[in-house]
Amino acid sequence: MVRAFVNWFRSSWIAYGYDGQGTAPLEAIAWRLFGVLILAAFIAITFTTHPRPGLHGRDIGVLASFVAFAVFAIAAHPERRDLPARQRILALIGVIVAAGCLGAFQPHGVWVLGPYYVAIVAALNLDRRAAWLIFLAAIAPFLAGYLSQGQIANAGTFLSGILPWFFAMRLLHYVAEQRDELKASRALEAEAAAAAERGRLAREMHDVLAHSLSALALQLETTRLLARDRDVDPDVTQAIDRAHHLAASGLDEARRAIAAERGEELPGPERIGALADAFKEQSGLPVALEVRGEPRELPPEARLAVYRTAQEALTNVRRHATAERVDVSLAYGPDSTVLVVEDHADFGSPPPPPPAGIALNGGYGLTGMRERAELLGGELHAAPTPGGFRVELRLPAAG
């Protein structure tokens, strides 16, 4: 509890936009200490000034006013940043009424802290119009009370004391707004710079990679037609066909990557079926795809992780395994999204795992898949099984 109290003192809504983040300077810590001392003095004076809070006669009114003052003051506290403006205004009006009642029951108490508190909170947390209206509502009844009793000097002292507090807090409010606007502007500049860099990379990928793959696919197509015209061995023709298909698929993936860098939609779990069909066509192996649970929308990076992991795992099977069939399952659980790609072969001992660092279709091996999962708060397990090899990706439900 002591540590929590110290941490509260070291954070400051005055210095950091009253969001409680960061370590406050000494002046802000002194401000908090001043507030705590004022609160302690308010409680002590209220309970030691006649009439004291109690359960008999006039004492009940003092007690009720004090409790109402405390409840409304806590409700309107400036550190409650998520409090709607309307609720804060109602709470501040409650503080004004409670302070007036406390002053009526206990004239020699410190009820005057009520309008000061209202002026400070309104200046810090409300817009200009609402802040001024609440400020005028806070001082008007008390000024009227002083003037009706001929206490002009007290009215002047009250007004000259509360006005500087209100103006100072309004200036602090403006400074905080300007700081927030500057922070938002810098964030937008950073996003614009990142978008520009993505655009540059997309243009580079298009000019180099996509053009190279297009030329490769065209050259393979020409070679395939030439091989057929010259009655080349069918096995060679089939190999050229597969190479052409891979080049065309790589070109399609490059175009999708470029589109993703330009902010277009990333591939996701809904395209795993197409991956399985393409794998079956290229490898000739049967693929069983199963989706369990209610599909849900995943964040962009999680969608891409699921798709890329399925893509790389199937590519591993085609390149490094002697499988007879492949099972792909995607399960949407209450706490996680789980993708499993497992190949099965008919041999007595498990095959060696594929090299962890090998670069695959999208430029990622098992290491890349695992790093992608960990960045999203998930995990990836890849290991041989008695009948083949199993890759399991597990991501938290929130992505």
Residue 212 is assigned to a structural domain of this protein:
no
In this structure, is residue 232 part of a structural domain?
no
Total number of domains in the chain: 1
Confirm whether 109 is domain-assigned.
no
User: Is residue 393 helix, strand or coil?
Assistant: strand
- Regarding pTM above 0.75, the answer is no
Alpha carbon distance 278, 175 (integer Å): 59
Per-residue confidence (pLDDT) for residue 97, from 0 to 100:
92
Q: What does the block give as tokens for 274?
A: 């197409």
Whole-number Cα distances in Å, 174 to 44, 116, 188: 35, 19, 21
Indicate whether 145 belongs to any domain.
no
SS3 content of the chain, % helix, strand, coil (to 5): 65, 10, 25
Q: Is residue 60 part of a domain?
A: no
220 lies in some domain: no
- Please tell me the distance from the alpha carbon of residue 153 to that of residue 151, in angstroms, as a whole number: 6
pLDDT recorded at residue 132: 93
Would you state the pLDDT for residue 339? Answer: 93
Question: Smallest Cα–Cα separation from 98: which of 37, 133, 36, 53?
Answer: 53
CA dist 118 and 139 (Å) reads: 9
Q: Is the CB of residue 42 less than 8 Å from the CB of residue 56?
A: no
Instruction: Show the low-confidence residues of the chain (pLDDT under 50).
Output: 12-22, 348-364
87: in domain: no
Tokens matching residue 146: 């002083």
The CATH number given to whatever domain includes residue 361 is: 3.30.565.10
For residue 156, give the H/E element and its range.
helix 152-205
In sign, the C-alpha dihedral spanning 81, 85, 86, 90 is positive
- What are the DSSP E strand ranges found in the chain? 287-292, 325-332, 336-344, 379-385, 388-396
Q: What is the pLDDT of residue 363?
A: 40
pLDDT at 94: 92
In a domain, 386, yes or no: yes
C-alpha atoms less than 13 angstroms from C-alpha of 139 in its C-beta half-sphere: 21
DSSP class of residue 126 equals S
pLDDT of residue 264: 52
User: With the C-alpha atoms ordered 194, 197, 199, 201, is the resulting torsion angle positive or negative?
Assistant: negative
d(CA 203, CA 205): 5
Q: Which domain holds residue 363?
A: 269-399
Q: What residue has token string 């406050």?
A: 24
